[in-house]
Amino acid sequence: MSSENLPRISGQPSRKPRVAVVFGGRSSEHGISVVTAGAVLRAIDRTKYEVLPIGITQDGRWALTTDDPERMAIADRRTPSVDELAESSDGAVVLPVDPADREVVYSEPGAVPKALGEVDIVFPLLHGPYGEDGTLQGLLELSGVPYVGSGVLASAVGQDKEYMKRVFTSFGLDVGPYLVIRPREWQREESAVRKRIVDFAGEHGWSLFVKPARAGSSIGITKVDDLSGLDEAIAEAQRHDPKILVEAALRGREIECGVLEFEDGPRASVPAEIPPPQAHAYYDFEAKYIDSTPGLVPAPLTAEETADVQRLAVAAFEAASCEGLVRADFFLTESGTFVINEINTMPGFTPISMYPQMWQASGVSYGELVDRLIQAALNRPTGLR
């Protein structure tokens, strides 16, 4: 699209707040981020907000994209990409770096940069590294642009499963047994690390889950039932992150709970249960997004169990200093104890994702959920808080 034809918003005080929906990114969750953005773009109330869709390609270019949610859905078991949606193959969007200036600029080679107008808020819908991990949040803090969701620290903690578990433990939340394998350990002491894992399995039993420490959407995770599959599982996890976790399999039910920030503080949704998928060894990427294994909403729990997991979800939200929204994932063990597995500071946000479904069952529609998050971010003070 030529820069002369790009949209511009007037600087008049009466204009609607302008929301930059940022999605895609450099992580392995790029495609799911695009799908999430399509759902949010469809839901944003255009009578209340102007919208500027900005996609980040897998090589890191910020592109102006189509505002057509239909092109941002999973089709033929395949997720879309920003490159397919970009209005230009080489044009780039530049956010402001001066807190006193929120003007967004679009440039193309050989053309005069074009001002697109001011952005009032960013809705970052990136999953994984380079977006959900505090990096984008840090850029927005430097720019002085308000944004939806958690800040730098909570986003970083929520992305790194090792430090997430350390934070939870320090606040008295139960986590399952795990090992951390750092890249230098594996490079220098491979035999010793393998022995540690075997000893860990001897203590807690096979199966083990080997996973990237800083990834999501079940990408890079392998269920290992014996020693023969260990090296291949480690190699797969390290394709996504040089630091990996080895977790003992917990026997129990998978329970999720959404947390949303209201004016009087965070509240928990009704919980949901993820039943074991019939065609998959566990709740992996294909079970989540391609085959869309349905969850049970609300989860068939007792009133006491429901209250307990809601309390723990809010406690996890507070422990990591989260803002806006979180999905907290638990195991309800055979002994009747809830063990927290992880939190997601920007969970999957399509209408069939568990987070919106849990809030729908709690009386907050998808459109209301999107609007509440935008309004909360617009009203939140910038800077340290």
Are 130 and 260 members of one domain?
no
From CA 278, how far away is CA 280, in angstroms rounded? 6
According to DSSP, the β-strands at 265-268 and 252-262 are: antiparallel
Helices 161-170 + 303-319 axis angle, to 10: 110
Q: Are residues 312 and 337 in the same domain?
A: yes
Measured torsion, CA atoms of residues 233, 157, 130, 290, in degrees rounded to the nearest 10: 50
Residues 227, 255 within the same domain: no
For residue 68, the one-letter residue type is D
- 299 and 341 assigned to the same domain: yes
Q: What is the dihedral of CA 346, 348, 354, 356, to 10 degrees?
A: 70
CB atoms within 10 A of CB 138: 14
In a shared domain, residues 208 and 121: no
Q: Is 325 in contact with 151 (CB distance < 8 Å)?
A: no
**Domain CATH number, residue 28:** 3.40.50.20
Residue that finishes a domain, picked among 248, 266, 287:
248
17-56 pLDDT, tens digit each:
999 999 999 988 899 899 999 999 999 999 999 999 999 9
Among candidate residues 204, 230, 248, the one where a domain is terminated: 248
| CATH code for the domain of 186 | 3.30.1490.20
What's residue 115's pLDDT?
A: 87
Cβ atoms of residues 111 and 3 within 8 Å: yes
Does residue 166 sit in the same domain as residue 188?
Answer: no
The tokens describing 132, both together, are 């959900």
Task: Establish if 72 belongs to a structural domain.
Answer: yes
145-169: pLDDT as tens digits: 999 999 999 999 999 999 999 999 9
Q: Nearest 10 degrees: CA dihedral of 274, 277, 281, 282?
A: -20
What share of the chain in percent tops pLDDT 90?
73
Number of domains the chain contains: 3
Domain that residue 102 falls in = 3-147
Q: Model pTM?
A: 0.89
* Mean confidence (pLDDT) of the chain: 89
Together in a domain, 12 and 122 = yes
Joined together, the tokens standing for residue 363 give 């009386």
**pLDDT of amino acid 89:** 85
**What does the pLDDT profile of the chain (385 residues) look like in tens digits?**
444 444 444 444 568 999 999 999 998 889 989 999 999 999 999 999 999 999 999 999 999 999 999 999 888 778 899 999 998 888 899 887 778 888 899 988 888 888 888 999 999 999 988 999 999 999 999 988 999 999 999 999 999 999 999 999 999 999 999 999 999 999 999 999 999 999 999 999 999 999 999 986 678 899 999 999 999 999 999 999 999 999 999 999 999 999 999 999 999 999 999 998 665 455 454 545 545 567 899 999 999 999 999 999 999 999 999 999 999 999 999 999 999 999 999 998 887 889 999 999 999 999 999 999 999 999 887 666 6
Beta bridge partners of 181: 244
> What pLDDT is attached to residue 2?
41
Does some domain include residue 152? no
| Any domain includes 154 | no
In this structure, the answer to whether residues 273 and 343 fall within a common structural domain is yes
Could you tell me if residue 153 is inside a domain?
A: no
Domain assignment present for residue 385? The answer is no
Q: What is the pLDDT of residues 165-195, one digit of tens each?
A: 999 999 999 999 999 999 999 999 999 999 9
How far does CA 184 lie from the centroid of its chain?
A: 28
DSSP SS3 for 305? helix
303: CATH: 3.30.470.20
**82 in a domain, yes or no?**
yes
Q: Are both 236 and 267 inside the same structural domain?
A: no
Domain stop point among 223, 248, 273: 248
Decide if 55 is inside a domain: yes
Q: Kindly state whether residues 346 and 205 are assigned to the same domain.
A: no
Output the DSSP codes for 123-153: EE---STTTTSSHHHHHHHHHT--BSS--HH
Together in a domain, 188 and 216: yes
Question: Are 97 and 118 found together in one domain?
Answer: yes
- Residue 384 domain-assigned (yes or no): no
